[in-house]
Each structure stands twice: as C-alpha cells, then as structure tokens.
Chain A
C-alpha cells in the first residue's frame, strides 16, 4: 500500500530523466514529489545507453542543450556528492563522404558560433588523436575535446539519492496503470500498489512514454526503436575519444574502466519495444569496428544488450505541458540522447513547471506544438 495519499508532482519513470527531474524540482523547493518506476532504477534505456556525452550536433537547439548539459556534468560529482566518473576525452566524428565533409563544416561553424569548442581537422590530426585508427576512406573529421563519457548507472543513482535526501519519495517496482483526469486536467495516478491524488504528472517513461500518453487519451508523436550495444573486456588505454561515423554508422569508446563499448543504429530496425539481443548485431558490429581499429580483433566481447530509443519527429526532445491535458508534462523523445541531455532537460522542465518559463528561453523550441506549427528543423547528426 502507498504510504502517502497526495503529491504535488508525480514523475513516471526511474531513468536518468525522471530521477534528474525529481532532484531539480526538490532543489528548487518543491516539497512533495513522488517518483514511480515499474522496475528498478536505470532498468530501461539509461542503464542500456552508450554513455557518451557530446555537443557536436547539427541543430541550434540540440547544440545549446548539449553545451549547457556539459557545463552541469562538469560539476555534477560535487553537486550530487557521488563520483559519476565523468571523463572528457572528446568525440572524434569521422567524415567518409563529401556530403559529410560539407555537413560537418556547417555543423562546426554553427557549434563555434554557440561557443562550443569543436573544430574541423584533417586526417593526420585525427590519426594523432587516435593512433590505432585505420584512416582508409576517411576524408576529414571533427573533434570536440570537452565531449566525453560518464557512468549512466552512477549518474542516475547520484540523482536519485540526492533527490531522496531532499525529500523526494521514490517507489521502485511500482507500476502506474491508470491516470485519472477531470475536465481535461490531471487529478490522480493509480498504481499496482495504490492510488495517489495529484494535479501534475511528468511523463519520463522513455521507451514507454507512448503507453503513458494513452492513459490520458493522447497520441504522442514519438515511437520506440531497439538499439543494440556490445562491450569488450577491459584493456589498457587504447584511445581517448568516442569514435563516431554517421555514414559508416557506428560509435565506439573506451570507458575509464578500460572496456570498449560500441553500437550502431540498424536502418531496418522496426518500430516497437523489442529489446532482445541479436547475433547478427554482434557480428556486424565486430566487422565494422575491426576495420576502423584493426587492433580490436584481439579484444574479446564480454556481453551485449539492447535498449529503446524514444524518437521524436525532429530528433530533439519534447519538453512541456500537453496542450490537451492540463498538468500533464512530457520529458520524452530524446532520440538516443537522453542521458547526455538529462542534466539540462531536467532543469528546464522543472523551471517550466514551477515558474512557467525556462532560464534558456527555448521553451517554444521544445514544446509539442512545434510539430503542428510546422517548425520542423531536422537534426542531421544522429545515429
């Protein structure tokens, strides 16, 4: 049975988005915040993500969000009193086609105009940064030294524990099965452990956010899609940055722990919530990465898994209140970048809920209404 009967705000989802929102709301003074997670914390996409953090995006909105997120990441271990193992080894994004060369020049110009310290570099410099790189077919690259990596589990537990210290109640293994509305306004949340009255619900359910939308009778413009990852045994330091290519479709990074994590997005992957691992993925991934870094042939894969992207129409997150249901807020559609954007996204949505505006003044670029207004600016740099 539920210990309390009423909450000011209910958050659905115990991943990095939900837990970071819980923390930010409590930090801003909100007293009665409850978070429901149907499984354990980080059991969804957070615990399954590639753990990378980058600022090298192709739209202004994503660049600004990522830049502000890195600023928060840089002080997060101190702020949350928990080592999140932030490691800024940079992201090296490889251009294999002329089209990419042109796109990357535009991206870097945009990034530099927004004070992101990315630069366009030649093949020799790329090889200096990653000595074991096979440069065959590479035309150029972009590099941002402050991009990097943090431990998603630790970051999420750090947020969750800090939120609890500030009074947030977190209920794991508690599944929301109904959301009550009256006159198109949120009034209650029903779970398998009992019912709670609340005027505000935040949908932070990631790959399952569409299911939560249906509970209040709205179709959210997001879909879920499986993405797979594998990890190797830990080895001595081999290269520092995340290696990434959009045209060859891969990302690969050595974690501070020494293991190498890698993934790619299958263009034929159907929409849905399948999270089974496939043998074909492991084989294709190994074929891709042993070409790019031939030394990896001698390194053993330890395990593989899959998780869900929650994809929005422009690959940028949807943050804000739903226009048809009062008190129903969304922090969804992160399109594979939820972990890296969580620190800033959680701050913005908390500001929006408690003050009606965001400190970055970009709420009108992130609301769900942008799709109806026809302001679709597609993010070109996603996997």
Chain B
C-alpha cells in the first residue's frame, strides 16, 4: 500500500499517517482513532475500520479476531438535531 492511499475517506486519513501511528506504538483501533481521527467521520468507521484492523493484526502478528474493536457510539447513522428534538413537522 502506498503512503498516499486514503484509508479513512470521511476524515482524509492516509495509510502513511496510520503507519506512523503504528510505528509510534499506537497499536489498538481506539488509539489510532484518537491519534489520526480515522473512523471519526460521517460513516463512523464503517468503511475504514476493517482495513485498519487488518493492518493492526499484520503489524502486531496477531489474528484479526484478536484485535479489539472500538466502542460502538450511537446513533448508527447521522440524525438531524431538528429530528432528534422532535420538531421535524414544522
């Protein structure tokens, strides 16, 4: 993979940034998310999380199922504050 390859499309995070985080010792999904913002955008990691999990597994010589995932944060998809507030009829 090239350093310029975009891994997190919502937050424009490249493979280079994720590789650097791994090399600094940030080897959990939560840490990589906090250092690079990968997975914090509009899709909340639905696109990039699997790719990053795979790369963490490779980097740490683990099986992908041994790498813990991030805490799920509601809601599942973006909701307008007006809708949440309950006045979407006006």
Contact = CB atoms under 8 A, between A and B. Distances in A.
Contacts of B55: none
Contacts of A283: 84-86
A233 interface: yes
Contact of B78 (A161, A233, A279, A290): A233
Contacts, number: 74
A9 to B, nearest CB: 22
B73 A277 contact: yes
A339 B84 CA distance: 29
B62 interface: no
Contact of A299 (B40, B74, B80): B80
Nearest to B24: A161
Interface stretch (A60-68, A117-125, A301-309, A371-379): A301-309
Contact of B86 (A233, A257, A287): A287
B42 A233 contact: yes
A282 interface: yes
Contacts of B42: 233, 302
A43 interface: yes
A174 to B, nearest CB: 14
B75 A153 contact: no
Interface in B32-78: 34-35, 37, 40-42, 44, 71, 73-75, 78
A40 B73 contact: no
Q: How large is the interface on B (under 10, 10 to 19, 20 to 34, 35 or more residues)?
A: 20 to 34
Interface in A280-302: 282-283, 286-287, 289-290, 296-302
A232 interface: yes
A283 B82 CA distance: 10
A198 interface: no
Contacts of A305: 71, 73
A100 to B, nearest CB: 24
A282 B78 contact: no
A300 B31 contact: no
Contacts of A299: 80-81
Given A277-B73, A300-B78, A303-B44, A157 B84 contact: no
B85 A287 contact: yes
A152 to B, nearest CB: 9
Contact of A303 (B31, B75, B82): B75
A241 interface: no
Given A43-B30, A233-B42, A303 B85 contact: no
B1 interface: no
Contacts of B84: 282-283, 286-287, 301
B14 interface: no
B79 A301 contact: yes
Contacts of B82: 286, 290, 296-298
A257 B37 CA distance: 11
A153 B39 CA distance: 15
A47 interface: yes
A299 to B, nearest CB: 6
Nearest to A284: B85
A226 B69 CA distance: 23
Contacts of A41: 31
A40 B80 CA distance: 32
B87 interface: yes
Contact of B73 (A153, A257, A290, A303): A303
Contacts of B87: 290, 297
Given A153-B34, A283-B86, A290-B87, A300 B81 contact: yes
Among B30, B34, B74, B79, the one with the most A-chain Cβ atoms within 10 Å of its Cβ is: B34
Nearest to A283: B84
Given A290-B82, A305-B71, 12 more contacts: A40-B28, A232-B81, A279-B74, A282-B74, A283-B84, A287-B85, A297-B80, A298-B81, A299-B80, A300-B81, A301-B75, A303-B74
15 contacts: A40-B31, A161-B24, A232-B81, A277-B74, A282-B74, A286-B84, A286-B85, A287-B84, A287-B86, A289-B81, A298-B82, A299-B80, A300-B78, A300-B80, A305-B71
Question: Which 4 interchain pairs have the tightest Cβ spacing?
Answer: A297-B82, A300-B78, A286-B84, A303-B73
